[in-house]
Structure 1
């Protein structure tokens, strides 16, 4: 109550310092400094994208709020004040269970690590014309008995392309949590002109095998594995020999998630998912009803989720492009003006979200939070290239996959991401696929 821990003055101080620094660099505001090193060309371009997403998400989010209120009423919890912000998570979970009772833990038996790896590697062979081969003991140095080493070779020529380490299991106390991809060796040439092939680390933290029971994954862990492998593919399939621009190096912040999020889309492709989702004991495929639940879960409360990210991104962008110490409003007042069109539940008077928005004040995302949605637009639009030719049309899928390999996965940071994307897609990115995948398309 003393206010000594109120960091709102710090927020203004940070914004003032960034504004002053931008002007010393010859830019009108910090947003221009941020975008100079990103794929997005201007503040107006980012605003236009966010408005497309906002316009699609807002009516859907309104409908979702009405559905939560109706759910609460069915359970005898209707109040004159209606749904409040602290009610949303609870009633969303109740409604989710009523709509489709998806038990993530119960699906584990259908996703053994070996089955999932088989599906992932088979997909990569189909799309990118590569083979992924497990190596013999002793072929590469290993730091733990859980770790395996794989080689990538061109399926047509047999030419070696890259390698990667897979360290899949949690080791409490001796291994950092989470999942990530990192560089072991980058593609380059020695002073003598010899080719150095890229090697990646692929690290996960899933349950290890126990006795006769293999490592069984949640669907979220399957998505994570596909995601990190997408980063790995861009590192391993690069054809750029200059380390500074090979693989993921020098790829702009708002484009680097394109290959990873692109790979996640295949987890919802019927042929890919049903081909690897087999019960580890009986071999039975995942029941159709469970597949439909996974599809429903992907878009559940999708309007609210999209609108929330648009609110965060637009607040960040305008604080760094429009706010000044003399603009006549505080950062919080600017944020609340934005909330009028980006929230379906008005923030309560005590709301102090900005005071905890560490991404933009302490995490390097100043005027860059939009990158999350920008990258989703790119990845969804890239996947839609495969949808347009028909996911069951093998010849067209193979050709499209090869084009993705030769552009997005090959060129790394050697060309601007806008050029690379256009070389693959034949045009600039469109938000239409993400709007559709998020369940926001009209009708």
Structure 2
């Protein structure tokens, strides 16, 4: 689809440009086709530009209402169209949408650049910011003014015209590169699969084979079974398959995504992205992109991030090396005449866990059906916050597998809708995420949120339920924690709604929510055998709890190494990075990365930091938030009740409901009564003990 030089006529009756008469005014997905998007974006860009011009050129003296509030009210159509479009591009794409995405990413940059660098508009904002102490603002209004000023300042609104022009060029190119990166990654993931026949299933449980058959059906291969490059397919295969040759084949394909020297190769893109990010940071007066990015975070500096990561790295590596030696002994004991390789780690770790903790994932998986874990996540929210969930069949969805629930508060009032899109399919990018179709706000009357969770769980075949691994179940609770952050939001202004917080705070509500999934109080009620309905046996429950800290050296090493590499990419001069593979090897050698463990995300597939910049220099955020979440759950443990009403009310008011309306450190201390205690993270991961004690 080519870019038009003039306005595009909308198809007759473009649903994106009409009032939605669906339940709760939700997007009418069944009526929307790709051809609707460019005309809708054209109209939305035009409308928004006119709104911005009216604010910037307002002849009256700037005040909070005619400048800051007016900005908050602008761009409603653009927000609406973009939310629908990006949901589809990520969760149910097709070639037409991906082609439009290339066009839209460039247009979006060209639309926002002149807004965020508008000197007249920034002058009005800066004038208000200068006299903010005199304006008699509420705490939320003060926070909004501060965040608005910061956003414009950091976008280059205060630069001279030459620097603004260059910044605009950089932003446009980065938008294109990020889109290309994600499309390349999706392309490699769609193109590869490995068929498994009768002789290839050694060690694989029936549930995995059923999921492999369902994945083949999705690819138009009825009667066959395939392993795909979805993490929910790869990791169980590496853990359970007795075929070492096939484990190696799957592993090598998985870590090579975006690094195959084909049309989907991402190496050159990374080099260009890093150079442009560094240039943009220097235009704004920062020595590195990491310094620029982290100034507007809880961490504040690259040194603070490195300090946390290195503090965790040392005990994690020690634990991993001790585990490596134990795994090698197991290989030798079984008569294996080979050195442990990365495609062996999960397989032998599972054997070692069975020996040490008498537990393996295959034993608990029949008790973790997707439907029951969804109900468990809902019930936990009900017991904590009083919200209830009722499934709705009358809300349009983008794929038949998507489910929708109406969320109500304890008093029965409508709070929002929750969409769950749980199954892997070729049209969906890998991973799991939360997003929204509409954010909560109260600026012009109560606006209820439309919140989405997207996952990539394997679908059961032939009517069998989807069975989750413990990691999958934890992912479901994690994303639902993000979902609650969006659903429980109770702020006035859209820019401060829900997850509109610092990146290294946004993972707190999600990672904190994971704790409930692992608790006996939850598992005893909802972990039931998918065939018999029998509850999880108590001895298996106890073994599961005892096994949780097993292999944490491996899990921590694969994460922290990725976070350190992200930091190095954005602190070292871009010109010194050179060949991406060589840089990766150099940095991993520098920290002593065990050869038997791969990065959780190799550079060419590191969508968190290269598909856009949301987590660039910020992948550490998951661990920064984990310091808080490990400490925060302690408030419930200290109360003697993981559903304690008083603690739950503070959690709702200070963390989930406040969105970005207050400083995150202030919000955390309001909930916990003090700053987080850093060693809580090491205790949770079992890394304070010596390796021999594990």
> Considering the TM-score relative to the shorter chain, is it more than 0.5?
yes
CA 1:206/1:67 → structure 2, altered by over 3 Å: closer, same or farther?
Answer: closer
Q: 1:188 aligns with which of 428, 441, 444?
A: 441
Instruction: Give CA deviations for 1:397-432 in whole Å, capped at 9, x if unaligned.
Output: 221111111111011011232222222222333332
Q: 1:116 aligns with which of 373, 378, 382?
A: 373
Instruction: Give CA deviations for 1:278-321 in whole Å, capped at 9, x if unaligned.
Output: 33565432012322343355322211221232222223213322
2:551 is the counterpart of 1:292: no
Instruction: Give CA deviations for 1:188-219 in whole Å, capped at 9, x if unaligned.
Output: 2364xx322323234556647977x7665554
In the alignment, the residues of structure 1 paired with residue 266 and residue 331 of structure 2 have an alpha-carbon distance, to the nearest angstrom, of 36
Q: 1:273 aligns with which of 507, 523, 534?
A: 523
Following TM superposition, by how much is the alpha carbon of 1:31 offset from its aligned partner in structure 2, in angstroms? Answer: 0.7
CA 1:405/1:354 → structure 2, altered by over 3 Å: closer, same or farther?
Answer: closer
In the alignment, the residues of structure 1 paired with residue 427 and residue 603 of structure 2 have an alpha-carbon distance, to the nearest angstrom, of 36
Between stretches 40-49 and 97-106, larger displacement belongs to: 97-106
| 1:385-400 → structure 2 map (5 Å cutoff) | 385-391=635-641, 397-400=644-647
User: How large is the Cα RMSD of the aligned pairs?
Assistant: 3.9
Task: Give the conservation status (yes or no) of the 8 Å contact 1:170–1:208.
Answer: no
2:404 is the counterpart of 1:152: no
SS at match of 1:411: coil
Following TM superposition, by how much is the alpha carbon of 1:103 offset from its aligned partner in structure 2, in angstroms? Answer: 5.4
Q: 1:376 aligns with which of 610, 623, 626?
A: 626
Q: Structure 2 length normalisation: TM-score?
A: 0.53
Task: Give the conservation status (yes or no) of the 8 Å contact 2:309–2:560.
Answer: yes
SS at match of 2:435: strand
Q: 2:479 aligns with which of 228, 231, 236?
A: 228
Following TM superposition, by how much is the alpha carbon of 1:11 offset from its aligned partner in structure 2, in angstroms? Answer: 5.6
Task: Give the conservation status (yes or no) of the 8 Å contact 2:405–2:419.
Answer: yes
Q: Tell which has more relative contact order, 1 or 2 (C-alpha 8 A, sep 6+).
A: 1
| 1:2-21 → structure 2 map (5 Å cutoff) | 14-21=273-280
Q: 1:92 aligns with which of 328, 333, 349?
A: 349
Q: 2:677 aligns with which of 430, 433, 442?
A: 430
In the alignment, the residues of structure 2 paired with residue 317 and residue 145 of structure 1 have an alpha-carbon distance, to the nearest angstrom, of 38
In the alignment, the residues of structure 2 paired with residue 434 and residue 274 of structure 1 have an alpha-carbon distance, to the nearest angstrom, of 26
Task: Give the conservation status (yes or no) of the 8 Å contact 1:164–1:202.
Answer: no
Following TM superposition, by how much is the alpha carbon of 1:273 offset from its aligned partner in structure 2, in angstroms? Answer: 1.4
**How many residues are paired up?**
423
In the alignment, the residues of structure 1 paired with residue 484 and residue 597 of structure 2 have an alpha-carbon distance, to the nearest angstrom, of 42
Following TM superposition, by how much is the alpha carbon of 1:86 offset from its aligned partner in structure 2, in angstroms? Answer: 5.6
| 1:326-365 → structure 2 map (5 Å cutoff) | 332=582, 336=586, 339-345=589-595, 359-364=608-613, 365=615
2:383 is the counterpart of 1:126: yes
In the alignment, the residues of structure 1 paired with residue 486 and residue 373 of structure 2 have an alpha-carbon distance, to the nearest angstrom, of 21
Task: Give the conservation status (yes or no) of the 8 Å contact 1:39–1:416.
Answer: no
CA 1:146/1:90 → structure 2, altered by over 3 Å: closer, same or farther?
Answer: closer
Partner of 2:284: 25
In the alignment, the residues of structure 2 paired with residue 113 and residue 202 of structure 1 have an alpha-carbon distance, to the nearest angstrom, of 14
Larger Rg: 2
Task: Give the conservation status (yes or no) of the 8 Å contact 2:485–2:498.
Answer: yes
Following TM superposition, by how much is the alpha carbon of 1:380 offset from its aligned partner in structure 2, in angstroms? Answer: 2.2
2:655 is the counterpart of 1:408: yes
In the alignment, the residues of structure 2 paired with residue 372 and residue 268 of structure 1 have an alpha-carbon distance, to the nearest angstrom, of 19
Partner of 2:449: 198
Partner of 2:65: none
2:502 is the counterpart of 1:246: no
CA 1:404/1:342 → structure 2, altered by over 3 Å: closer, same or farther?
Answer: farther
2:299 is the counterpart of 1:40: yes
In the alignment, the residues of structure 1 paired with residue 491 and residue 689 of structure 2 have an alpha-carbon distance, to the nearest angstrom, of 42
Task: Give the conservation status (yes or no) of the 8 Å contact 2:558–2:597.
Answer: no
In the alignment, the residues of structure 1 paired with residue 647 and residue 673 of structure 2 have an alpha-carbon distance, to the nearest angstrom, of 12
Q: Structure 1 length normalisation: TM-score?
A: 0.80
